[in-house]
Every structure is written in C-alpha cells, then in structure tokens.
Structure 1
C-alpha cells in the first residue's frame, strides 16, 4: 500500500513541473533567450548559497533556499508580472495567495502549511531570511540586464529611477551587495544602457 502522503507529494512534484513553462521577461546572461521561472528559482538558490556571507544579519540559509525555490511557484496560476509593469502591481496579490493555497494545498497538510508560511514570509519581506532572499531576487535580473546591454530596460523603455527604486530593496538584506548593485546601476547609466 502506497502512503497517502507520498501520493500527494508526487502529485505536487508533477504539478510544479509547470513552472518550467512560465517565461520571464529577463533574458539569460549574455543571451537573447528568456529565462523561465524554474531557471530563475534555481539560480537564486545558488546565489543565496554562494553569497550568504554578505547577509547583514545571521540567517537560516536552508530557509532562504526554500524561499527562493518556492516564491514563484504561484505564477503557475497567477502568471509572471513584469516588475516594471505600469498597469499591474508586482506586489503580493489575492490572485497569488489563491494560487499558493491551491498549489501548496496539494501537499499533505503539514507541508502545505509550511510552504504557505514560507511563501508569505518571503512576500512580507520582514524576517532576515526574507530580506536576504528578496535581495537575491532583485540582484539576479540586475546582473542579467547589465550583461545584456540593458536587456529588458532597453526593450521596455525602463528608466533609471524605476530601476533604482525596485533594486534598492537589496540593501535591506545586504549592504555590501547593495553597494555593488548601486555601482552597476550607475555604471549602466555611464555606459548609456540605462537612461536617466
């Protein structure tokens, strides 16, 4: 007899395969191919592991890794909202919460509860782990856009002030990484790949 929890977990694993089909606006490093949500989440997990020493506060790295791996799973239902979208707010929405409850709800009750709590904690951005995880989430596309001569900034006419406002969240998790990010933003202006 196969345990009921195992069957639920396998169903969840099959369901989240759909994240591989969610295309982001950002392109891979030095590439013209769009990144998908699975690639993005994996990259953030690796970044968190590699860059954890730059967190301003002590963090539970495993919790950060969980956050970055599950934070975009809700986009299976809710879709990816471009961070610079002028019409739809990028922040946590009812649509995303509904998606979180449906998708994580496939899991056994205790796991579902844990995943929803971790997802909510990331979205709230208050804990040290959430601050650092969100730093990773904002740093990765910055690195991509600078490697692609402006990438989505150029493609969608995104200006300096919008980039600066969205990226300054990095400093909530890491002063050192924010200093680096800020220098990349200013360098991008000097190179003409980000317009003031």
Structure 2
C-alpha cells in the first residue's frame, strides 16, 4: 500500500504542470497553453505520425518520454525554446525531474529518469522522433496564430528554421512538410 500512496502523491504533484504557462497559444484561442496540454498534444501527435519516423520506434517508449519530458518545468518554469537550451536551464529542469520522480517508489524512479535523460540526449531512434514531434505543435500554433510567439520574442526566420531542422533527425518526411509550411510563412510575411 505504501507504493500506491507514493504514486498518488506523484499524481498530485504533477498536477502543477497544468499551471506552467508556455509561450504559444493553442490554435483558435487567445490564451497561452499550459505544459500539461502540450504533453497531451505531443503524445497524440506522436501516435498519429509514428509511421513517418525515419527508423522503427517503440511508440509506447516515445509516448512515455513525451509524457515526462517537461516535468522539470514544474520547478524550472517554461522558457521559449529559442532561449531555453542553456546549461543552467537544463540543470534546473534535471533537478526538478529528480525531485518529482523521487516521490515514486524507488524501483520505478530510476527508469523514468533514464528515459528523461534519453530524451534530452536525443541519440536513440525513439528520442530523435520524440524530440522531432515536440517541435511540431509550437510551430503549428505560430503558423495558425499569426506568428504570435515569433513576433512577441522577435525570433528571426533563421533561428526558426535552424532550431526546428532537428525535426528531420527523427522524421525527414515531417521536416520536409514543416519546412514547406515555414517557407510559406516567410513568403506571406508571417515569419521574417
């Protein structure tokens, strides 16, 4: 029964992800999304796009990665991707993930932390695909929301194309389609 209590405490703690506000607005909404919504969205996107991974992937593993990849934001907060990939931010997120996973029974927590580290490293087929999928919703939010986040944070097209080209590491077909959509955004003056 102790283990059930630990899992329930973990479930209560991760509710806080619903209060971490991101920097893009869901399509058709005036408010910004929260990190829990993002986690759900990328998991469903991964499921729908799994056949476009460049390598065979264990979709269950991908979804588990995507469900835990932002837990560190409960402590570290969310930073726009174009400013978040700093050593300090990554360390703060890692400490947050460790703290939150410590609520789980000991025999479970290490496996989930290793999964989080695998996502961060981006070296396995599953991690490359998960990291590719993680980039898609924010791009779609901007493409269907007047480039709101790009404009607000003054993100130039070179940074958008440069950072998001990693989509191609997990799915070249998906990057090809997203690159076309981004180029249309440039042509239409949405992305400068």
Do they fold alike, i.e. is TM over 0.5? yes
- The answer for the alignment partner of 2:148 in structure 1 is 151
- The answer for the alignment partner of 1:14 in structure 2 is 12
For residues 119-174 of structure 1, give each alpha carbon's deviation from its aligned partner in whole angstroms, at most 9, with x where no partner exists: 11000000000000001111111111000011201222111001011100100000
Once the two structures are overlaid, the 10-residue window that deviates more, 113-122 or 93-102, is: 93-102
- The answer for the alignment partner of 2:167 in structure 1 is 170
Distance 2:30 2:183 in 1: 23
1:30 is displaced (CA, Å) by 2.6
Distance 2:158 2:62 in 1: 28
SS in 1 for 2:82: coil
2:85 aligned to 78, 85, 89, which one?
89
- The normalised TM-score by structure 2 is 0.96
1:16 is displaced (CA, Å) by 0.2
- The answer for the alignment partner of 2:42 in structure 1 is 44
1:90 is displaced (CA, Å) by 4.7
Pairwise CA RMSD:
1.1
Kept after mapping to 1: 8 A contact 2:25/2:31 = yes
What count of residue pairs does the alignment treat as equivalent?
191
Q: Does 1:190 align with 2:187?
A: yes
1:89 is displaced (CA, Å) by 3.4
SS in 1 for 2:166: helix
2:125 aligned to 104, 123, 128, which one?
128
Kept after mapping to 2: 8 A contact 1:41/1:69 = yes
Kept after mapping to 1: 8 A contact 2:23/2:80 = yes
Kept after mapping to 2: 8 A contact 1:104/1:116 = yes
Once the two structures are overlaid, the 10-residue window that deviates more, 90-99 or 71-80, is: 90-99
Q: Which runs of 5+ in 2 are unaligned?
A: none
Distance 1:106 1:70 in 2: 14
Where in structure 2 are the equivalents of 1:32-71 lying within 5 Å? 32-71=30-69
1:139 aligned to 113, 136, 140, which one?
136
1:8 is displaced (CA, Å) by 0.4
Bigger strand share: 1
Distance 1:53 1:106 in 2: 35
1:31 is displaced (CA, Å) by 2.3
Once the two structures are overlaid, the 10-residue window that deviates more, 60-69 or 23-32, is: 23-32
